[in-house]
Amino acid sequence: MWKKSESEPLSQSSSSDSQSTGYFAAQEPESQSGDRSVIGSSISIKGEISGDENLLIEGEIEGKIVFHNHNVTIGQKGRIKADIHGKTIAIDGNLEGNLFATEQLIIRQTGIVHGNIVSPRVVLEDGCNFKGNIDMSPKEKASPPLPLISSDDTDADIL
Amino acid sequence: MKTDSEIYIHSSPGLRSLCQRFQDMTTLDLLELGPARGCNIEFWSRFSNSIFVADLRASLPLPPLEEELEYPESEWHRILDLPAGRYFDIILAWDLMNYIEAAALPGFINHLNRYCKQGTILFTMLIDQPQMPEDSCVFRIIDEENLGYETSGSSLRSCPRLQPRVLENTMQGFRTSDRYRLRHGIIEYLFYYIR
């Protein structure tokens, strides 16, 4: 069954790598410089981190990472035991925890992830190591908030 | 990271049949026992928003047991830790059955039973060749009718050549739905679960 004559071999970099194109194409998180903070490889943090700018983590973090409207990247040296909330989350390092990305989740070739993913778009690059659940249902899609009381219905009961 | 792997593409009537069964479904719950591959996740996302990747391949070969003759089911809870109370529509076992010792297969199937519901389909393959690759293949879905077999390295080992009847008897709770013997020495199986 392994004879080349019986089938057509493809190289790893062939066009059959559909995850590198189209809808599931890996998009670089925005703002790779400038408005991005970096937690360096010698830094170790226990607790919750939150902020309003993009974040690159090369250090060690245990706890929770909340950057709802920004991108979070775990660099190759990053070692994380935490849930992460972000817009686009990219993993190059090692993570144990759950990932909640409102736009896109990327696990790169060197990424090792044990945990669950909730994201409308998921990109798993060849060579990555992932164990857990992938939930791509659009639960987190923002819907316009309903007015509690409409202007022409001000005496309606509010339940 | 492996760099010496090659991919061979073969037609897969089992995959085609599986897709036809579920073509109108959009809320399937799927258990992938093989490793995570982006192209497979993309493919299944058409049918399913929820995919559990167990990557059993990373736990093989199973650690040897010292005294017991059969692999206890409790060991499978540790090796294959699946979410309690979840019942999958599709289980993708690929060629993994060929790499699990015969004594461990009943416990494996009993363990999977806990995560099945009426009609769950399990897709697996037997290798019917004297030899097989040292490690289980990684499968890439090319399209609804074709699978890519990704082998790592050229070393081979003897194949258990599990006989179809033996496998079918081992599949406690399952019945054979489809069976396809392919020219390259693979028998594809679709089993369905009866509660």
Phi, psi of B133 (to 5 degrees): -55, 150
Which pTM value belongs to this model?
0.83
Chain A residues close to B49, C-beta within 8 Å: 135-137
Mean predicted lDDT score pLDDT of chain A: 77
Contact A131 B38 (CB under 8 A): no
The residue-averaged pLDDT of A34-57 equals 93
Do the beta carbons of residue B175 and residue B192 sit within 8 Å? yes
Position with higher pLDDT, A6 vs B80: B80
A15 touches chain B (CB under 8 A): no
Q: Please name the residues between 45 and 104 in chain B that touch chain A, using a CB distance below 8 Å.
A: 45, 49-55, 58, 83
Mean pLDDT for B81-97 is 95
Whether B183 contacts chain A with CB within 8 A: yes
Instruction: Name the CA dihedral angle for B179, B180, B186, B190, rounded to a multiple of 10 degrees.
Output: -40
Give percent above pLDDT 70 in chain B. Answer: 95
pLDDT of residue A14: 35
CA closest to A127 among chain B residues: B1
In this predicted structure, what is the pLDDT of residue A33?
Answer: 47
The closest of A120, A44, A35, A129 to A91, measured between CA atoms, is: A129
Torsion angle, alpha carbons of A147, A148, A154, A159, to 10: 150
Contact B148, B139 (CB under 8 A): yes
Give the range among A82-86, B20-24, B109-113 with minimum mean pLDDT.
B20-24
Residue A3 has pLDDT above 70, yes or no: no
> Does pLDDT of B79 surpass 50?
yes
Sheet with strand A9-10: strands edge to edge: A9-10, B5-11, B146-152, B138-143
Percent of chain B with pLDDT strictly greater than 90:
69
Residue type, A49: I
Region B40-49 average pLDDT: 88
With 90 as the cut, is the pLDDT of residue B145 above it?
Answer: yes
Contact A140, A157 (CB under 8 A): no
Query: What per-residue string of b and e applies to B14-34 under the rule 16 or more CB within 10 Å gives b?
Result: bbbbbbebbeeeeebbbbbbb
Helix (H), strand (E) at residue B125:
strand B116-127
Nearest to A131 among B9, B49, B55 (CB): B55
Q: Which of A14, A23, A131, A137 to mutate to test the interface with B (most CBs of B within 10 A)?
A: A131
**Pair of tokens at residue A158:** 């509010």
CA distance B13 to B11: 6
User: What is the reported pLDDT for B38?
Assistant: 94
Contact A92, A107 (CB under 8 A): no
Which pLDDT tens digit goes with each residue over B161-182?
988 888 989 999 999 999 999 9
Which residues are A48's β-sheet partners?
A: A64
* Interface list for A 34-73 with B (CB within 8 A): none
Q: Which residue has the higher pLDDT, B162 or A13?
A: B162
For residue B36, the model assigns a pLDDT of 93
pLDDT at site A9 = 42
Name the band, by pLDDT with cuts 50, 70 and 90, for residue A118.
Answer: very high
Name the DSSP class of B42. H
Confidence of residue B125 (pLDDT cuts 50, 70, 90): very high
Average pLDDT score over residue span A125-143: 78
List Cβ neighbours of B38 (8 Å cut-off, separation of 6 or more).
A17, A18, A19, A24, A122, A123, A124, A125, A126
